[in-house]
Structure 1
Amino acid sequence: MSNLESTLFNRSLTIERLFRATLSPSQHNTVSQFLKDAETEMRSHQIQIDKLRSQIALLENKKTNLSENIARYRSLLSPIHKLPPEVLGNVFSFACEENSFHIHPVLTPPPLSLSSVCGRWREIALTMPSLWSSMNIRFQRGWTKGGLYRQLYHLVLLFLDRSKSSPLDIVLNFKCRLIHADAIPTLAALVSHSPRWQRLVLEDIPEECLRHEVFRTLGRHRMAMLTHLESSHNGYDDTVWDDYQCHLFHDCPSLTSLKVANSGPLDHGANLPWRQIKKLEIVNAYEIDGLDLLSRCSNVEQITLERVSGMSEDGVEDEGDGEFSHIYHPISKITILAVEEDDVTCILKHSTLHELSSLEIQGADDDWDEWDASQEVIADFLHRSSCHLTTLALSKLPISDSQTISLLYLLPTLTTLSIEERTGDICTNQVFTSSFLNRLSSVTRMTTHPFLPELAHVKFTLHADELDIGVLSRALTARWVPDTQYALELGIACIQTIDIVFIEDEDEEYVENLWSSLGWMASAGARLTVSALDDCDE
């Protein structure tokens, strides 16, 4: 036993004996010395503990810092850091195509979110003015509380500053009938940058807003960059625009695209550069209004008509105030979005379009079940126009297989054909019957007038129920004639693109069967796609 251990042992025995006796003065001094020695030793131990704790804390801090560094190092090795700034900038552009400003509840616009991720992303975002050039603003009642309009104003100023000289894409949605005084600074800031406007959308705008002084100053600005203008009326009063003539957009030398919805301010005598318009879209208008608007755009090349017809809300035909102007414009493409037969015939019975090359008619899965009048009007239109139609798309229409065959015989120059069957309560094919498919496959040397001789690209969206996969396969393979000389003998073109879509997503078995029958065409050079429609695609 060492001297220290012996001393501690003797001290412990002495203390144990003293707990059983009365302390004498000498013993009291002994215990006092023991106490001082113990306190001195405890202080020495505490000093050592504090030193060790200090070392532990230092090591913990070093460990934390190393953990952060490890995370940063691993982050730098992640795939996204391998992307060049140009590629990352393109990704940002997709994320910031439409920057919606939601002040209440707060929803941060994408450019602000991206620029707050890290220093590199912030630097890229700030060096791309185009990310900040899109603003979708909805003015709502109740924003006067809590200074929400002030927040909107400062946010708009930030985007205007960071967009620098980039063309602006502005969407203004008015959910209030009157412009509140607190919204004026925001609108004034936007109007002051109107020479940079490239696309302007005025949604649900009431007359009182457009007549406001803050908009009136637009007429004094030359909007040289504006290429697309769009307006819609919120329907507070159907006749509110009758005595209003818009002169705000008369000086727009680049304006070529126009969309008018719900009898807005741009279709009642508006002072616009009508002859510049190349692309026109009219939504929800009576026949007389839609054709009057179309007649002004004498150089239009592409038109889209959605629910434009001569039927009033109660189903009574609107006779108008006089005869319609017949349309002879150089239109090359027509898209018709119809919910009733009259929507289809509206433009076609009042026009002669020699340059038309593309016609698309989209229907709806509603109670519309008449097509005879449309068939007759389309036939008359094609005969009258003598146009060389190369693209035809028919979607969800109440057209039969025989009517489709008759229509397609009128289109010998057709190269691209897209047909989509109706859905809803109808789960069988009305067009893609054996009769239609057999006609599609009837290509022989003995045919005087081949059916669709120039057809090269098809997209068929159909039901699997009662479909004969073998007949469909033969109809498509019959048009695979890569031998140029043989194709000339048959008088048909070789099919190049085939896109077959089954409407019901549970038709995977049909997808596999058709692919096993046609897959060789893909190997031979055709562009072949066979798929089933997902619920989210409908």
Structure 2
Amino acid sequence: MASQSSLLATDTRLRSGTRADRKAREVARIDDEVFHLQHKVHTLLTQAADLNFERNALVSAVDLPFEVLASIFEFACWPDVDRRFMTSIDNSFWRPLSERSRSRIPGGIRVGPLYISRVCLAWRKVALKSPKLWNSIELAVDWSRRGAQRQADLLDYWLSKSSPLPISVRLTEDWEFYEKDHDIEMPTKVIDVLQKYARRLHIAELLIPERWRHALAYIGNHATSLTSLALLFAFRCDSLEYINCFSDALPLLRNVALSRNNLMSVPLPANQIKSLHLEKVYNPLHAFHLYPNLEHCFIDAEFSGIQSDGEPVEGPILRHSLTSLSLHLNNESELAEILNILVLPNLSSFTVSLISGASPLLTMVDFFIQSSCALKKLHLHCRTISEDDLVACLQALPTLRELTLYCEEIPRAVFELMNPRRPTESDHEMSVHWRNNIPCLVPNLEVFSCSGPVSFDSGVVIEFLEERWQIGLQSAHLSWTGSMLDAQEKEILDRLSREGAGAYALKCDYDK
């Protein structure tokens, strides 16, 4: 009996082993077929890629001359550096620190020509031999020793490709590096590389750490082609308190921007400066005394205030050359402190932005009357404005062509008074201004904008736009938090847009 059981067990094991062997052989066969199929697929894909390459080489759209391809790259990959540095709402050459480029690779360098050079061999040749792709660079400086060496090598390589063109360099701080909580060593490797190219510097935005003093002095003595200069406070290291690196030997320098410096501690060739941008700078009022030939001036003192540690500035200061003035302040008293000392007979563009305080319009009216200027552009950003003050202000500006209002509410009567069509007896109740026979305000208006959390009577506004379009209004931008336009108002706005008025509206629901 035991013998039979043993034989049965042995037979079962043999059959089981035979099935396992068959499965193993079958799996091996299938794996082998899969491998061969994958090899065939890879071969076919390679052949298809080769054929596509041959086909694409025959397409006229990619078979472009070197010069044409280079021009396309220059247009599509890079914004014009002069436009990027020179264009802003205040006509200043320098944009605030918050407006930084998002196009970066690790280390902060803009990436256009590097990406192009990796597409194909033909594009690589064009990219490496097109100096205009390499004559502008923005670098967020890494203060660690290893990171600075890598950036210095890349900066040297980049600028070497730009010869012989003028170069534009922007050095900012790498805030991502600070978040890693590394020790700050403040190496000079990056600024040392820039010294090699000082004579070709056209536009420069530079940090001013104490350890860079000698390199900055060298650049200041040799950057004979420099036209625009911005000096930025270095937050994470000791910055220079007195900056005398750029006071001489800069015959072409016209545009200057300072951030968190003391204006009195940055001597510059004052008589040749045309554009000045001051962001949270000590003694900003002295700019009107120090720079007699200014044409554009931007002062940002929001939250910091008009800080002064020197002698008070006395007026009146007459400046015939100043045509554009932009003031970003805390309140009306700071605005009055500036405007009360100025007489600007040729002012054509004026921007005022106040965080809080009373309406600044009466102060502005006195300034306009004192200056007797033919203002063409007015950008007003404040919380509240009174109806009477705004009417008085616009009455003082008959030459105005562009008007931007950024406030919580714009009085209905203002739109009525800017509307050339006089209301009939069947219209809504006339305001006191109509009874006083006030002529149409800003008769030469071409561009009108209401931006921000504004509210107004949409019907009155649409009627104002429709009437103005017939006598010269070219574009209008509206944004508000109130109710949407009704169907008829939307139809009118769409029609104006189709006719080329450039009119459009945006509803902003800030509470959602």
1:231 matched residue in structure 2: 231
What is the rounded CA distance, in whole Å, between the counterparts of 1:339 and 1:91 in structure 2? 40
Per-residue CA deviation, residues 196-223 of structure 1 (Å, 9 max, x unaligned), is 11111123x33x2243x333323442x2
1:292 touches 1:325 (CA, 8 Å); kept in 2?
no
Residue 172 of structure 1 deviates from its aligned partner by 2.4
User: Which runs of no fewer than 5 residues in structure 1 stay unpaired?
Assistant: 1-54, 423-429, 482-493
Are the structure 2 counterparts of residues 269 and 513 from structure 1 closer, same or farther at C-alpha, using a change threshold of 3 Å?
A: same
Are the structure 2 counterparts of residues 91 and 343 from structure 1 closer, same or farther at C-alpha, using a change threshold of 3 Å?
A: farther
1:277 to 2:273 alignment: yes
What is the rounded CA distance, in whole Å, between the counterparts of 1:131 and 1:235 in structure 2? 31
Residue 382 of structure 1 deviates from its aligned partner by 0.9
1:404 matched residue in structure 2: 390
**Match for 2:459: what amino acid?**
G
1:52 matched residue in structure 2: none
1:7 matched residue in structure 2: none
1:434 to 2:419 alignment: no
1:252 matched residue in structure 2: 250
Per-residue CA deviation, residues 480-535 of structure 1 (Å, 9 max, x unaligned), is 54xxxxxxxxxxxx13223132235x96x528643312444455x55232131679
1:67 matched residue in structure 2: 48
The correspondence of residues 384-533 of structure 1 with structure 2, limited to 5 A, is 384-422=370-408, 430-431=409-410, 433-441=411-419, 443=421, 449-461=439-451, 467-481=456-470, 494-504=471-481, 509-510=484-485, 513-522=488-497, 525-532=499-506
Are the structure 2 counterparts of residues 277 and 513 from structure 1 closer, same or farther at C-alpha, using a change threshold of 3 Å?
A: farther
Report the 3-state secondary structure (helix = DSSP H, G, I; strand = E; otherwise coil) of the residue aligned with 2:440: coil
Per-residue CA deviation, residues 370-408 of structure 1 (Å, 9 max, x unaligned), is 22xx23321221111111111112134422333211211
What is the rounded CA distance, in whole Å, between the counterparts of 1:120 and 1:99 in structure 2? 27
1:337 to 2:328 alignment: yes
Are the structure 2 counterparts of residues 77 and 519 from structure 1 closer, same or farther at C-alpha, using a change threshold of 3 Å?
A: farther
User: Which runs of no fewer than 5 residues in structure 2 stay unpaired?
Assistant: 1-35, 85-100, 424-433
What is the rounded CA distance, in whole Å, between the counterparts of 1:501 and 1:78 in structure 2? 47
What is the rounded CA distance, in whole Å, between the counterparts of 1:449 and 1:179 in structure 2? 64
The correspondence of residues 3-402 of structure 1 with structure 2, limited to 5 A, is 63-72=44-53, 81=62, 84-85=68-69, 86-94=71-79, 103=106, 109-141=111-143, 143-144=144-145, 147-173=146-172, 180=185, 183-203=187-207, 205-206=208-209, 208-211=210-213, 213-221=214-222, 223-234=223-234, 241=241, 244-263=242-261, 267-286=263-282, 289-307=283-301, 311=305, 320-329=310-319, 330-364=321-355, 368-371=356-359, 374-402=360-388
Q: Which has the higher contact order (CA 8 A, sep 6+)?
A: 2
Per-residue CA deviation, residues 336-362 of structure 1 (Å, 9 max, x unaligned), is 223322343343111000001111223
Report the 3-state secondary structure (helix = DSSP H, G, I; strand = E; otherwise coil) of the residue aligned with 1:171: strand
Are the structure 2 counterparts of residues 434 and 58 from structure 1 closer, same or farther at C-alpha, using a change threshold of 3 Å?
A: closer
Are the structure 2 counterparts of residues 301 and 162 from structure 1 closer, same or farther at C-alpha, using a change threshold of 3 Å?
A: same
Are the structure 2 counterparts of residues 74 and 534 from structure 1 closer, same or farther at C-alpha, using a change threshold of 3 Å?
A: farther
1:42 matched residue in structure 2: none
What is the rounded CA distance, in whole Å, between the counterparts of 2:191 and 2:445 in structure 1? 52
Are the structure 2 counterparts of residues 415 and 148 from structure 1 closer, same or farther at C-alpha, using a change threshold of 3 Å?
A: closer
* TM-score normalized with structure 1 length: 0.70
Residue 320 of structure 1 deviates from its aligned partner by 4.7
Report the 3-state secondary structure (helix = DSSP H, G, I; strand = E; otherwise coil) of the residue aligned with 2:342: coil
Residue 301 of structure 1 deviates from its aligned partner by 0.8
1:169 touches 1:200 (CA, 8 Å); kept in 2?
yes
Residue 280 of structure 1 deviates from its aligned partner by 1.0
1:202 touches 1:231 (CA, 8 Å); kept in 2?
yes
Are the structure 2 counterparts of residues 343 and 238 from structure 1 closer, same or farther at C-alpha, using a change threshold of 3 Å?
A: farther
Per-residue CA deviation, residues 249-308 of structure 1 (Å, 9 max, x unaligned), is 5111111111111125xx23534221111111111135xx11212322111111111117
What is the rounded CA distance, in whole Å, between the counterparts of 1:108 and 1:442 in structure 2? 50
**Match for 1:164: what amino acid?**
S
What is the rounded CA distance, in whole Å, between the counterparts of 1:78 and 1:347 in structure 2? 64
**Count of residues paired in the alignment:** 436
Report the 3-state secondary structure (helix = DSSP H, G, I; strand = E; otherwise coil) of the residue aligned with 2:250: coil
Report the 3-state secondary structure (helix = DSSP H, G, I; strand = E; otherwise coil) of the residue aligned with 1:248: coil
CA RMSD of aligned residues (A): 4.0
2:259 touches 2:280 (CA, 8 Å); kept in 1?
yes
Report the 3-state secondary structure (helix = DSSP H, G, I; strand = E; otherwise coil) of the residue aligned with 1:259: strand
1:89 touches 1:125 (CA, 8 Å); kept in 2?
no
1:47 matched residue in structure 2: none
Per-residue CA deviation, residues 452-500 of structure 1 (Å, 9 max, x unaligned), is 22223322336686x433222222333354xxxxxxxxxxxx1322313
Are the structure 2 counterparts of residues 65 and 369 from structure 1 closer, same or farther at C-alpha, using a change threshold of 3 Å?
A: same
Larger Rg: 1
What is the rounded CA distance, in whole Å, between the counterparts of 1:132 and 1:378 in structure 2? 46
2:301 touches 2:328 (CA, 8 Å); kept in 1?
yes
- Tell which deviates more after alignment, 318-327 or 472-481: 318-327
**Match for 1:303: what amino acid?**
C
**Match for 1:410: what amino acid?**
A
Per-residue CA deviation, residues 165-188 of structure 1 (Å, 9 max, x unaligned), is 22221222357999958x434322
Report the 3-state secondary structure (helix = DSSP H, G, I; strand = E; otherwise coil) of the residue aligned with 1:68: helix
Are the structure 2 counterparts of residues 63 and 448 from structure 1 closer, same or farther at C-alpha, using a change threshold of 3 Å?
A: closer
Report the 3-state secondary structure (helix = DSSP H, G, I; strand = E; otherwise coil) of the residue aligned with 2:202: strand
What is the rounded CA distance, in whole Å, between the counterparts of 1:404 and 1:248 in structure 2? 43
2:303 touches 2:330 (CA, 8 Å); kept in 1?
no
Report the 3-state secondary structure (helix = DSSP H, G, I; strand = E; otherwise coil) of the residue aligned with 1:321: coil
What is the rounded CA distance, in whole Å, between the counterparts of 1:218 and 1:439 in structure 2? 56
* TM-score normalized with structure 2 length: 0.73
2:418 touches 2:443 (CA, 8 Å); kept in 1?
no
2:104 touches 2:110 (CA, 8 Å); kept in 1?
yes
Report the 3-state secondary structure (helix = DSSP H, G, I; strand = E; otherwise coil) of the residue aligned with 2:325: strand
**Match for 1:528: what amino acid?**
G
